[in-house]
Structure 1
Amino acid sequence: MRPHRSCLHAIARALVRPAALACTALTLSGAAAAQSSSPAAYPDRPITLVVPFGAGGITDLVARATGKALSEQLGQPIVVENRPGAGGNIAADYVKRAKADGYTLLFATVGVLAVNPHTDVKVNFNSAKDFTYVSLVGSTPHVLVVGPNVAVKTLPDLIKLAKSKPDSLSVGTAGVGSSPYQGMKILEDASKVQFLHVPFKSGSESVTNVASGQVDLTFEASPQVMPFVTSGKLRALAVANPQRLTTAPDVPSTAELGYPNIVSGSVAGVVGPAGIDAKIVNKLNAAIVSAVADAKFKAVLVAQGTEPAASTPEEFRKMIGTEDRRWSALLKADVKN
């Protein structure tokens, strides 16, 4: 016996209604998700801040301090993720390919964005086109230190020794393009000497290898090297800066030693993938500006030998463009020589 047609209609309505309700629920939840991911709602979940070098180096330390300060400003956790390798290129390429929603950012250095493209290491990004610039965060001058096996006490003595032994004195860095690598190149250019480059995954690793006598010298931030200087494992020759540092007051500056062109340090800021909405960029920039103005955050950075300095996105972009042209000329001249 067949069911009556009216019964069939009732069954059909009963079957369709839950599906329709489910569809409606999915549509509403999708709309809610889209709304929560809108620029106006940003940020509504944790943000990942990618560091291009290993843990323990000055870039990592400043990035973690910045992440903590930004978390307080934005009201969301900032997850710091180290992706070392290839002088920072691995991290830059990773962030370049991330979704441009403001939830994956790079704690970028001048070395990664402006130096690496002009080295022998292949880069898979274009600093002018592949990133959204947010703000500078700070600048950390370097201290030039030598290990226990290097019998020099002054910067002029080091230069004299390097000239007598070309390509022999080894310099530890956090990789090609890192700020210590920049310091080495600046020293080579200013004094017309050649060193042997020894790359490591982080600045802290290079410092410990200099202190143990495996490598001859390095450039690093004062908090990284001064404990070793105090213990006698390293000898500080100069601060690569126009003035002395409060964190290393007894170390002469390169300017007062007669080498004003030997100025080196780590300059870092925050960028994201190209195409991040301007409202999100403005929120991030405002958060960094507020953090840098905070006395507590300033004290943390100064204790690490870093001078806090925020900027507009355009100022950061222009600075990278200027440094890019500078390092293009410097490293081309290096290749010719």
Structure 2
Amino acid sequence: MRPHRPCLPAFAKALTLACAAFTLSGAAAAQGAYPDRPITLVVPFGAGGITDLVARATGKALSEQLSQPIVVENRPGAGGNIAADYVRRAKPDGYTLLFATVGLLAVNPHTDVKVNFNSAKDFTYVSLVGSTPHVLVVGPNVAAKTLPDLIKLARAKPDTLSVGTAGVGSSPYQGMKILEEGSKVQFLHVPFKSGSESVTNVASGQVDLTFEASPQVMPFVTSGKLRALAVANPQRLSTAPDVPSTAELGYPGIVSGSVAGVVGPAGLDAEVVRKLNTAIVTAVANPKFRAVLVAQGTEPTASTPEQFRQMIGNEDRRWSALLKPDAKN
């Protein structure tokens, strides 16, 4: 009697199913292990600005939540577009993330600076992190003592008063455009690589004014190197209690600040997004982390991925109308 041999088609089918099961279980295990190595958090502006400061605080908090190092990498240039393009092209595995601002994602596409990304299609939204209202400050050579004084001076000298920003699309740039639109004036735009660089240039008298977070400007105000005219916010700030808000000065429409959050390349796995979002939400709820951000003039604000995406969509439509047909400065 011949020994029994398994049916080859049936055996092959069983082997294929076993391999598939092993592959799926291996993939699930790998996915469940995320993150198992350091994560890079790319900052689109230079070191020392408010976006960089909040990003570094966020990186530290996420490292504690995820039990992996978070490496903060500054890639400034082109108003943040260099960093955005870098992350857009990164492998969608959750190990390269972008600390993105609303200006980068919703304003830059409507300026005359070329962008190589589509905010709606090229990124996976994870969560908002915080909102930082601006303080409007002027340098020592500017005669204006109040916001109405500044507006009057700007109307008398259009395209003359210079505004330092972290580049086209940055939150100080947004502040400049909102002030121009709200008071019918025109400024001279002077871009820098970071908000901190623009502040030091205003303090030295090289540039006339800027919008920045209170921790960035108030030490210069205290020393007399800068003059704070207003907080571009409906209310005063605890970090600048003596500076009036634009609303109380009669300019409620002049509201400016930096709103930032975490995004990754398009195609991030849903479980990776869930883990990252949970980590950010947990961090934002932590009193220690909240205290760090509040000390920097930032209001901690987490969100769902969809809420973040919808905010960018709304802002994109707003700035499309505001900057039409194009930005000249």
Does the alignment pair 1:287 with 2:279?
A: yes
Q: Secondary structure at the match of 1:144?
A: strand
Note if contact 2:112-2:327 (Cα within 8 Å) is conserved in structure 1: no
Which amino acid in structure 1 is aligned with residue 271 of structure 2? K
Query: Gaps spanning 5+ residues in structure 2: where?
Result: 1-22
Query: Per the alignment, in what secondary structure is the counterpart of residue 198 of structure 1?
Result: strand
Task: Give the deviation of 1:36 after TM superposition.
Answer: 9.0
> How much does 1:191 deviate?
0.2
Which position in structure 2 is the counterpart of 1:248? 240
Q: 1:309 aligns with which of 288, 301, 305?
A: 301
Shift of 1:39: 2.0
Match of 1:270 among 258, 262, 265: 262
Q: Which of these residues, 253, 261, 272, is aligned with residue 261 of structure 1?
A: 253
1:79–1:36 distance in 2 versus 1, CA, 3 Å: farther
Which amino acid in the other structure matches residue 87 of structure 1?
G
* C-alpha distance in 2 between matches for 1:196 and 1:111: 19
- Pairing 1:67–2:59 present: yes
What is the deviation of 1:35? 5.0
Letter in 2 for 1:314: E
Shift, 1:37, TM fit: 7.9
* TM-score between both structures, scaled by the size of structure 1: 0.89
2:48 to 49, 56, 73: 56
CA–CA distance in 2 between the matches of 1:324 and 1:215? 29
The answer for the alignment partner of 1:110 in structure 2 is: 102
The superposition leaves residues 263-317 of structure 1 with CA deviations (integer Å, 9 ceiling, x where unpaired) of: 0000000000000000000000000000000000000000000000000000000
Instruction: State the 1:44 CA deviation.
Output: 0.3
Measured in 1, the distance between the counterparts of 2:180 and 2:29 equals 49
Percentage of matched positions with identical amino acids: 88
Contact 1:49 1:80 (8 Å CA) reproduced? yes
Match of 2:315 in 1: 323
Q: CA deviation at 1:158?
A: 0.0
- Give the Å deviation of 1:38: 2.6
Partner amino acid, structure 2, of 1:196: L
Question: Is this contact kept in 2: 1:147–1:234, CA < 8 A?
Answer: yes
The 2-side partners of 1:334 and 1:112 are apart by: 16
Q: How does 1:38-187 map to 2 (within 5 A)?
A: 38-187=30-179
String of CA shifts for 1:58-104, please: whole Å, max 9, x gaps. Answer: 00000000000000000000000000000000000000000000000
Contact 1:37 1:44 in 2 (8 A): no
Do the aligned partners of 2:111 and 2:327 also contact (CA within 8 Å) in 1?
no
3-state DSSP class of the match of 1:60? helix
Partner residue in 2 for 1:210: 202
1:332 partner SS: coil
CA RMSD of aligned residues (A): 1.8
**Secondary structure of 2:129 counterpart:** strand
Amino acid in the other structure paired with 1:141:
P
CA contact (8 A) 2:165 2:194 kept: yes
Q: Distance in 2 between matches of 1:263 and 1:328?
A: 18
Q: 2:290 & 2:77 partners in 1: Cα distance?
A: 29
In 1, distance between residues paired with 2:132 and 2:308?
A: 16
Residue 191 (str. 1) matches residue 183 (str. 2):
yes
Q: Secondary structure at 2:99's aligned position in 1?
A: strand
TM-score, length-scaled by structure 2? 0.91
Partner of 2:228: 236
Give the CA deviation at 1:40. 1.2
Question: What is the DSSP-based 3-state SS (H/G/I as helix, E as strand, rest coil) of the residue aligned with 1:187?
Answer: helix
Per-residue deviation at 1:154? 0.2
Letter in 2 for 1:74: L
Partner of 1:27: none
Shift of 1:252: 0.1
Alpha-carbon distance between aligned partners in 1 of 2:254 and 2:79, rounded to the nearest angstrom: 22
Question: Would you say the 8 A contact 1:146–1:234 is kept in 2?
Answer: yes
Distance 1:264 1:37, change over 3 A: farther
CA change 1:214–1:103 in 2 (3 A) is: same
Q: What's the CA shift string for 1:139-161, capped at 9, x where partnerless? A: 00000000000011100000000
Decide which structure has the larger Cα Rg and report it. Answer: 1
Whole-angstrom CA distance in 2 between matches of 1:325 and 1:136: 19
Name the SS of the counterpart of 1:38 in structure 2.
helix
Distance between the aligned counterparts of 1:100 and 1:109, measured in 2? 20
CA deviation vs aligned residue, 1:22-59 (integer Å, no higher than 9, x gap): xxxxxxxxx8xx65983211000000000000000000
